[in-house]
Amino acid sequence: MIQIEELTKYYGERKAVGPLSFTIDKGEVVGLLGLNGAGKTTTLRMLSSDLLPTSGRMRVDGVDLVESPEKVRPKIGYLPDRPPLYGEMTVKEFLRFAAKLKRTKGDVDKRVAEVIELTDAGEYANARIDTLSHGYRQRVGIAQAIVHKPKLLLLDEPISGLDPVQIVEMRALIRSLRGEHTTVVSSHILSEISETCDRVLVIRDGEIVAAGTEEELRERMGDDDALPLGPAGTVTRRSAVRKVTLIARAPEGKDIAHLLGLIKAIEGVDEAREAEALGEGKGALAVAIVTGTDVREELVKTVVTSGYGLLGLERDSKELESVFLELTKKGRRKAPDAEAKP
């Protein structure tokens, strides 16, 4: 769907992007992950044909974006970091305008009604855009990006500035677009990308420093990095280290010490210690567990068969964050296969 070859963008003497080469297949949801100023927005602006590259080639659906932008634009839907909305228009009016501007085929009113329903913006369909909350503006922004049924959807930080409820809803919305569009989502938040994307391209200083699925990135970190020490001074591959928190309710006569004993006895568990069971109420026990392998099934079986009520099993998000931090850290060498599609 997208072929990028040696793409660069300079603002005067300053390099913003490149050289950048990657491909994205039809139907994929790919995350462009990087810190602020890494070149994500510039890359998306070039892909949307808003900005011309200094050098390199971009092809969308086989058509060169620089040579024939007007042929490619109907195939692209773009939500910039700030949704392009006319405040004085109502949601319905604006989407009708955007649909006609983007030469939407078929019945425009019907399509507008469809995208309003899809983005769950029906409640405010007749409200002026300047009266909407940030979350609804973002929904209308996505609606204008998909109203003409583009093959490629570019979303620049779609979750930025949303509250937790809106984040969950926006993730669900992005996931619901899977299959119908090839989607590129940019973000500087790893959890956002890992929740919604099939594959991640990590960008730093305008170059891709890593590419792959979340698991592959973690593996790569394990291969590349200095290996951290495991329990009892043993060397543990970082990629195999998993941190999970188990929350359970203890039956009569059993306590945290008993639970810790059960967990430590499971093969593969390197460490288990008491943690805080925040917000779970009286009687809830929490255990932070470090394992060398994936022992979640065994953990659940052990805890439940021992009479504990399992309340939750969460992977430590800090683990993902550390992968991101390592990948985007200045001075780190470029991953050898970063430019090739894994």
Partner 1 sequence: MSATLLIAQRELKAYVRSPLGFVLAAAVLLGEGIWFMAKAMGSPGEKALSAQVLAETFNGITGGTILACLIMSMRLIAVEQEQGTLILLKTSPISDRVVVAGKFLSVMVVLTLLSLLSAYMPALIFVNGKVSLGHIFVGYLGTLLLGAAVTAIGLFGSALAKNQVIGFIISGAIVLVLLLMWMVAKLSEPPLSDFLDGLALHHLRQRDFMTGVLRLDNVAFYVSLCFVFLLATIKTLEARRWR
Binding-site ranges for partner 1 (CB under 8 A): 11, 48-52, 70, 73-74, 76, 78, 80, 82-89, 97-98, 100-103, 144
| Cα–Cα distance for residue pair 8/19, rounded to 1 Å | 5
Cβ-based neighbours of 119, under 8 Å, separated by 6 or more? 139, 140, 142, 143, 173
Element (H, E) at 63: strand 63-64
Of residues 11 and 229, the one with the C-beta less far from partner 1: 11
Q: How far is the CB of 65 from partner 1 (least distance, A)?
A: 11
| Distance between CA atoms of residues 81 and 141, nearest Å | 10
Q: How far is the CB of 54 from partner 1 (least distance, A)?
A: 9
Nearer to partner 1, 51 or 300 (CB): 51
Provide the pairing of β-strand 55-60 with 207-212: unpaired
Q: How far apart are the C-alpha atoms of 91 and 125, rounded to whole Å?
A: 5
Closer Cβ to partner 1, 82 or 318, answer by number: 82
Using the minimum distance from each CB to partner 1, give the nearer residue, 181 or 238. 181
Q: ω before 74 within 30° of 0 (cis)?
A: no
Residue in the structure block whose two tokens are 């594959």: 199
Which residue lies nearer to partner 1 by CB, 99 or 159? 99
Identity of the residue, 44 or 272, whose beta carbon is nearer to partner 1 in the bound complex: 44
Q: How far is the CB of 322 from partner 1 (least distance, A)?
A: 34
Min dist CB 145 to partner 1, Å, is: 9
State in angstroms the smallest separation of the CB of 49 from partner 1: 6
If the CB atoms of residues 89 and 284 are measured against partner 1, the closer one turns out to be 89
Least gap, CB of 102 to partner 1 (angstroms): 5
CB of 101 to partner 1, least distance (A): 5
CA distance 2 to 153: 11
What are 2's strand-pairing partners?
A: 24, 60
N residues, the chain: 342
What kind and span of H or E run contains 246?
strand 242-249
Asked if 183 and 24 count as a contact pair (C-beta separation under 8 A), the reply is: no
Locate 248 and state its tokens.
């359970």
